[in-house]
Structures are given as C-alpha cells and as structure tokens.
Chain A
Amino acid sequence: MSERVFLKGNEAIARAALAAGMRCYFGYPITPQNDIPELLSAELPKAGGEFVQAESEVAAANMLLGAAACGVRAMTTSSSPGISLMQEAISYMAGSELPGVIVNMNRGGPGLGDIGPSQGDYYQATRGGGHGDYRTLVLAPGTVQEAYDLTMLAFDLAFHYRNPVMVLGDAILGQMKEPVTPHTPARTADPEAASWCLQGAVGRPGRIIKSLFLEDGALAGQNTRLAAKYQAMEAEVRAEQFLVEDAELVVVAYGSIGRIAKSTVRKLRNAGHKVGLVRPITLFPFPSAMLRALADQGKRFLTLEHNLGQMVDDVRLAIRTVADSAFHGHLPGNLPTPNDFEAPILTALGADH
C-alpha cells in the first residue's frame, strides 16, 4: 500500500479521485489536463463509476451539479478557458449548497493565452469566480504528492461544508513526474448526505435543491448562512512555513511557484541570507493570521507569482497597518527556474547582487 509510484500531477489527481470513491466524472478536453479524463475514461467505469465526456464545460459543470444533488462524490477538471465556462454552475452550486470538486490546471491567459503554466486565475478562484456573493474553498498543491492528498481532501471538505471545492494547479504540476505514496482515505462516501440529497421522495415530502430565494428576506437569510459557512472554513487554513523563524524577509508564493521559490530560498540561506518562505496551501481561506503574526515580528515581505500580481493583494490585506509586501511577477509563457527568483529576493532584502 505504501509502495511509491512515479506519477504526473494529472495522473495523481485522477488516481486520488478514484481512491477517494468518486462515482461520477464529467469533463471536456483541454490542454494541459487531458491525462485526467483519459485515465478516468478507462479506470472509472472499471471501478463501477460513470465517466461522461460532456459537450462543453458548461454542460460538464452542470452535470456535476446534478450528480452533487444526489449526494455522490463527483468531479470535473479543466483548464482556464474551460473554468470560465463553468462559473455559471459553480455559482448555482454555491447558492444551492452542493458539494463538488473542480480542478483547474491553470494555463496562460487572458483569452486563449497559451498552454503553458500560469497563476492568472488566482482572482477567479478565490473571489468566487461567477456571479453573486460566494466563495469556493481553494486548495493549491505544490508537489505531486500534495496534488494527490489535496484532491482526496477536496472531496471530504466539499461534503463537510456542502460547497464546491477547487483544486488549483497549473501546467507545471500537471506534467511534472514525482514519486507519490498512494493511500486509501478513511472516508470514501458520505452517508450523511442522505439527510439532504435527492433520492426520490419515499415516505417524506419532496426535497427541493435550489438557489432561488424570492420571498421577502429569504435571500438575505441564505447569504447570512453562507457567510457563516465561509467564516467556519477558517478552520481549514493550511500553509507551509520554511525557515521563517529568524528570517528578515518572508517570500510568499503558492503552488508550483512556491515550490520553485523554496529552492531559491534554500540556496540563498546557504549563502547566508536571512530569507524564509510561506507557501499558502489553502488560497481560500487565506493564511492571513499567520502572515500577520510574522509582520508583527517586524519581518518584511515579497510576494512571488506567475502573473501580474493577484495574491499580493491578499498578502497586503493580511499585513496592512504593520507592513507591506514587495512584488515580483514572472510572466506566463515561460517557465521560471529557481535562478529567476534570486535577483528579486536579493533586491527585496536590500542585499548587493
């Protein structure tokens, strides 16, 4: 069971979903995540599940909504342009309080962009993405093992909070091959869903799953319930801290970029520079309290992203009134290496280079 296997990030996500008891998968082809539907089209039916290649991402996400209403573990995966098309259903799922897992292997944008890695969808992922006042839980793996583990966790969290959960990777993570230790999670189904899901109204009144709240005050009530739920999600905050204790400068970076930045931080440490790293693993909820505590200790900040600057807003919000964050954006379309981050970090440190 604990045998290590070499997997691409995309394969790890597909395998984790199978191990987590996923019953239905819906998707539409798009690079750089096609390994996921390709693998699942063969393996999910063998496991007794349903694989549907949908006519579009609009349809795939609405199929996810339908399966979720039945209380089964279901997932869809895509990349940026496809995720834009899914926003309608994600908003309805949030409003109807339905659990589902959505994976975005972020590629370059806007528009058709390119098929290379990017973190351009941070805002879309963490601000709800569709219309209305809602949030999705967002998990951002930095390694293939973490892609495996967080995909499993995503199912548990989706059902615990009855909310869509997004796994936000990128083209680097999807294609990178690493050793993974597969495992079987404690939970592979959600019997509690029997209290709310649709099964046919046997010996009880019909249940209605909806996001329309027209009666006076009803929508305000629903929004208040949702707000309380988003607040409760704070319990799920996760982040990796690396050498921050005595650091003067804290680098903040997530996902693949967080992992690349870690190599840079290690190298600069060896050269005697007092730099550390915080890698947010949940992007919503955001590890604001952790960053704020570090700011209170007088540390300085540099946010590194693979975009023009999005997460830096959340870093600045977290530490506002005591500190600020510098920013360095690596442009999409090219793959960053640890060396690319050396100069920006040294500049932020005020070191000669």
Chain B
Amino acid sequence: MQEIRVTNYPEVLVDRPTHYCPGCQHGIAHRLVAEALTDLGVVDKTIAVSSIGCSVFLYNYLNLDTVEAPHGRAPAVATGVKRARPDAVVFTYQGDGDLASIGMAEIMHCANRGERVTVIFVNNTVYGMTGGQMAPTTLVGQKTTTCPGGRCLEREGAPIRMSEIIASLGGTAYCERVAVNTVKNVLGAKKAIRKAFQYQLDGKGFSFVEVLSTCPTNWRMTPVAANERVASEMIPYFPLGTFKDIAATEGA
C-alpha cells in the first residue's frame, strides 16, 4: 500500500517515533516549537537548552544545536548561551518539576534580568519522568505517588501558578498560558509560541509560554480522559490567556 502523507511537518522535526506515552502532549508542544522556528526562518540560528524530565530527549526530535542543562538550571544555561551568542535564538523547554521547583531561582532571575530568551514551560501537574510524584503544580486533591491521599492544602500548600508570577517581573516582555487539548487551543498555542520567539527576535525581553499538558500515564487515565481533565480541572485553576504583553501596553 502506498503511504499518503496528509499533513506536512517542518523539516526541523525529526521523522522518528518518540518515546512519549500514548496521549502525552509533549509531542504537540515540540511540533509547535518546530513550526514557530520554521515560520520565522530561524531554525539555523537557534540554540535549544533541554532540561531534565520526560523531554530530556528533545534533541532527538528537533534537529537543532542543543545543550543539555542540569535539572532546573536551563534558564541559567540559556543566559550563558545568549550572552555568548547574542545573535542566536535561544529557548529552554522545561517541565513543571524542573522549572517551578528545583529551578525556581533560575527562572525568576532569568525573567527578571529580561534575558532575550524564550521559555517553553510544559505543565502537566506531575513529575513525569521519575514516576508521577507530586509537583509544585499538582492540584489540591490530586493523587500522586508521594501524595497518595491527594495533595493537601494545609500540608503541601497550593499549586503554583507560574505564568502569574512571571508576568509580575520587570524583565518579562510576553507571558501567556495556553493548552493543546482542542484544535482551537492548539492554534492559540501556536500563535503564542510564535509570538514569544518574535519578541525575542525583536529584542523586547524575556518571553514565556506555559503549555498545559497531559500525563495520562501518571494520572492513571486513558488519553481521552486525560485530555478531558485539562478542561475540567486544569484550566479552571490555571486560566488560559495573556498575562503580560509589553507591546499591548506600549501601544495603549
């Protein structure tokens, strides 16, 4: 049987099966990054900083110059890269354990310095790679392997809303939270990621896109149920939208 390709995908996206579980949305986020870099024509001047989490193998799927950062340190590594190569397009790709827990200091100060880098923050409310432990973004009541009774507000505190925090920092030029659970949201996410890179190219400052994502494996759900949970549980606590856009403010 002849294979007919019904969609095209950017060349920078490597044609190979991924190691991601069925229904995992890391792959969608990868693709959106690939499309944004391709649309902007900057693939060959991009340097990626991969992080530690399920997406550590980012470099197997995106054919880019890539450096692997220690857990949580991608924004510091990206700072070093951008300072050494100011003409490069530099981005980090980080999970919520990586960015909002162990790497909290690095992300805050990278944003606050207004480093001309872009951060793609994939929030799936668990530590995926290590087997589904509680993350700083785990929702209250959500069961994980280290809060088997469900996250308890009194004991473990409230889940951290990173986009709201990043938007409050002076160096942030653009900060948006998106989801990829529906076609409409995917299109919105694509626009946001593209805009984030455009702001970097324009030298406007630090840009940040939080992508709400599924982890069917560690949520112990089918891919369909996991996708539904994004709308029913995640978006109500992590509202989608633009939290900061200096261009909008400047234009007003």
Contact with B along A55-76 (1 / 0, CB 8 A): 1101110111111111110100
Please tell me which one of the listed residues A74, A89, A202, A208 contacts residue B73 in the complex, with CB atoms under 8 A apart. Answer: A89
CB under 8 Å from chain B, chain A span 150-209: 198-203, 205-209
User: How near does chain B come to A36, taking the closest CB pair, in angstroms?
Assistant: 18
Interface-located stretch among B82-90, B130-138, B156-164, B168-176: B82-90
Given contacts A52-B79, A63-B76, A67-B83, contact A211 B68 (CB under 8 A): yes
Distance between Cα atoms of A210 and B106 in the complex (Å) = 20
Q: Is the CB of A198 within 8 A of B81?
A: yes
B-side contacts of A62, CB under 8 Å = 69-70, 73, 76-77, 80, 106
Q: Is the CB of A66 within 8 A of B44?
A: no
Contact with A along B122-156 (1 / 0, CB 8 A): 00000000000000000000000000000000000
Q: Is the CB of B73 within 8 A of A58?
A: yes
Chain B's closest residue to A65 (CB) is: B77
Distance between Cα atoms of A69 and B90 in the complex (Å) = 13
User: How near does chain A come to B25, taking the closest CB pair, in angstroms?
Assistant: 23
| B65 is an interface residue with CB less than 8 A from chain A | yes
Chain A's closest residue to B86 (CB) is: A50
Q: Is the CB of A67 within 8 A of B80?
A: yes
B-side contacts of A335, CB under 8 Å = none
User: How near does chain A come to B92, taking the closest CB pair, in angstroms?
Assistant: 10
Given contacts A62-B73, A62-B106, A206-B63, contact A67 B81 (CB under 8 A): yes
Distance between Cα atoms of A206 and B43 in the complex (Å) = 10
| B66 is an interface residue with CB less than 8 A from chain A | yes
B-side contacts of A7, CB under 8 Å = none
Count of chain A residues near B, Cβ 8 A? 41
Distance between Cα atoms of A170 and B105 in the complex (Å) = 29
| A88 is an interface residue with CB less than 8 A from chain B | yes
Chain B's closest residue to A200 (CB) is: B45
Q: Is the CB of B65 within 8 A of A198?
A: yes
| B78 is an interface residue with CB less than 8 A from chain A | yes
User: How near does chain A come to B107, taking the closest CB pair, in angstroms?
Assistant: 10
Chain B's closest residue to A88 (CB) is: B70
A-side contacts of B67, CB under 8 Å = 65-66, 69, 96, 198, 208-210
A-side contacts of B76, CB under 8 Å = 54, 58-60, 62-63, 66
Please tell me which one of the listed residues A50, A63, A212 contacts residue B68 in the complex, with CB atoms under 8 A apart. Answer: A212
Chain A's closest residue to B82 (CB) is: A66
| A26 is an interface residue with CB less than 8 A from chain B | yes
Chain B's closest residue to A56 (CB) is: B105
Given contacts A59-B106, A200-B47, contact A66 B68 (CB under 8 A): no
Chain B's closest residue to A49 (CB) is: B83
Residue of B45, B56, B73, B108 ringed by the most chain A CB atoms within 10 A: B73
Given contacts A59-B73, A210-B68, contact A52 B83 (CB under 8 A): yes
A-side contacts of B77, CB under 8 Å = 62-63, 65-66, 69
Distance between Cα atoms of A202 and B85 in the complex (Å) = 14
Please tell me which one of the listed residues A24, A58, A200 contacts residue B84 in the complex, with CB atoms under 8 A apart. Answer: A24
Distance between Cα atoms of A62 and B105 in the complex (Å) = 12
Q: Is the CB of A209 within 8 A of B68?
A: yes
Chain A's closest residue to B60 (CB) is: A208
Q: Is the CB of A68 within 8 A of B80?
A: yes
Q: Is the CB of A199 within 8 A of B79?
A: no
Distance between Cα atoms of A60 and B193 in the complex (Å) = 28
| B243 is an interface residue with CB less than 8 A from chain A | no
Chain B's closest residue to A92 (CB) is: B70
| A300 is an interface residue with CB less than 8 A from chain B | no
A-side contacts of B56, CB under 8 Å = 212
Distance between Cα atoms of A96 and B46 in the complex (Å) = 20
Distance between Cα atoms of A70 and B78 in the complex (Å) = 11
User: How near does chain A come to B149, taking the closest CB pair, in angstroms?
Assistant: 33
User: How near does chain B come to A216, taking the closest CB pair, in angstroms?
Assistant: 16
A-side contacts of B46, CB under 8 Å = 200-201
B-side contacts of A50, CB under 8 Å = 83-84
Q: Is the CB of B83 within 8 A of A200?
A: no
A-side contacts of B70, CB under 8 Å = 62, 65, 88-89, 92
Chain A's closest residue to B50 (CB) is: A210
Distance between Cα atoms of A280 and B78 in the complex (Å) = 37
Distance between Cα atoms of A55 and B103 in the complex (Å) = 12
The 7 closest A-B pairs by CB, nearest first: A66-B80, A63-B80, A62-B76, A70-B84, A210-B68, A55-B109, A66-B77
18 contacts between A and B (CB under 8 A): A52-B113, A55-B109, A58-B76, A59-B105, A62-B70, A66-B69, A66-B76, A66-B83, A67-B81, A69-B67, A69-B81, A88-B70, A92-B70, A198-B65, A200-B45, A201-B64, A206-B65, A208-B59
Given contacts A55-B109, A210-B66, 10 further A-B contacts (CB under 8 A): A55-B108, A58-B73, A58-B76, A59-B73, A63-B77, A65-B80, A69-B67, A72-B84, A74-B80, A92-B69
